[in-house]
Amino acid sequence: MILYDYELSGNCYKVRLLLALLAIPHSLHPMDFYPGREHKSDWFLALNPLGQLPVLVEDGYVLRDAQAILVYLASRYDGSGLWYPTADPNLLGSINSWLMFADAITNTASAARLHDGFFYDFDIARCRDGAHRLFRILDEHLWFSERGASGWICTGAHPTIADIALFPYVQLSEEGGIARRDYPAIRRWLDRVRMLAGFVTMPGIFALPARA
């Protein structure tokens, strides 16, 4: 299994995070996303015509889109069935609605980070306003989740791939000038994710300090 990967990409990192949490053996193919734009090269466009990272290749099966890769990995390798439970239609629907939400966060919070850190020509005010609108919805959702059950994105005592899909660009938001001061429930949830057994980091995302 090969993951076409960029170390500083939150969408690549969410795949690396699930690979680590599920202890799935794999190899990484590092891409020169910035400044080399290798993801727009002819050879890579043949793999993914959208010219986006990450891409996963396993035994000739080529899969693009971070959220789709999370679905695939959890369905294939998570023996517990807890990360992507398919038996409960309501839960399955909810998880997928939050995977779409993660994509909306990519289009706002991640875009703001690309603008600030990678010199992309985006309307920064629009990116940040959009992220704040989504963070507001997420914060209230998580506040009620803390009262209903576990504090994870979807109901149930165990986190799902919805948590993994949302985590990176929310945790990296400050790199795009999006402060989380006004979202206490989001901050507590970020701590919960960082406390998961097997959690791994990326540049800009730190493990919780070790407890004595």
Partner 1 sequence: MSGTLDPDLERRWFPVCSRDDLQAQHIFETELLGRELAVWRGGGGVVNVWANRCPHRGMRLSAGAILGGELRCAYHGYRYAEGSGLCTSIPAQPGRAAPRSLCAATYPVFEAGNLIWSRLKDDEPAGAPPPSIAQHCESLYGLAVKSRAIDVAEVLTRYRFRPTAALAEPETEDELCTTTQIDAYSFRAAARKGSMTSEVRLFLQPVDARCTVVHGILCGEVAAELKIAALRHHAERLGRLRDACERLFPARDEP
- In the complex, the residues that contact partner 1 under the rule CB under 8 A are 140, 143-144, 146-148, 181-184, 187-188, 191, 195, 208-212
Residue 144 CB, nearest approach to partner 1 (Å): 7
15 φ, ψ to 5°?
-70, -45
In three-state secondary structure terms, 37 is: coil
**Token digits of residue 82:** 């807890």
Residue 39 CB, nearest approach to partner 1 (Å): 33
Residues whose CB falls within 8 Å of the CB of residue 203, separated by 6 or more in sequence, listed in order: 7, 8
Query: Sheet holding 55-58: strands in order across?
Result: 27-30, 2-5, 55-58, 61-64
Distance CA 138, CA 124 (A): 21
Residue 82 CB, nearest approach to partner 1 (Å): 23
Nearer residue to partner 1 within complex by CB, 26 or 141? 141
Nearer residue to partner 1 within complex by CB, 26 or 187? 187
Nearer residue to partner 1 within complex by CB, 81 or 184? 184
Residue 195 CB, nearest approach to partner 1 (Å): 8
41 φ, ψ to 5°?
-75, 160
Nearer residue to partner 1 within complex by CB, 46 or 212? 212
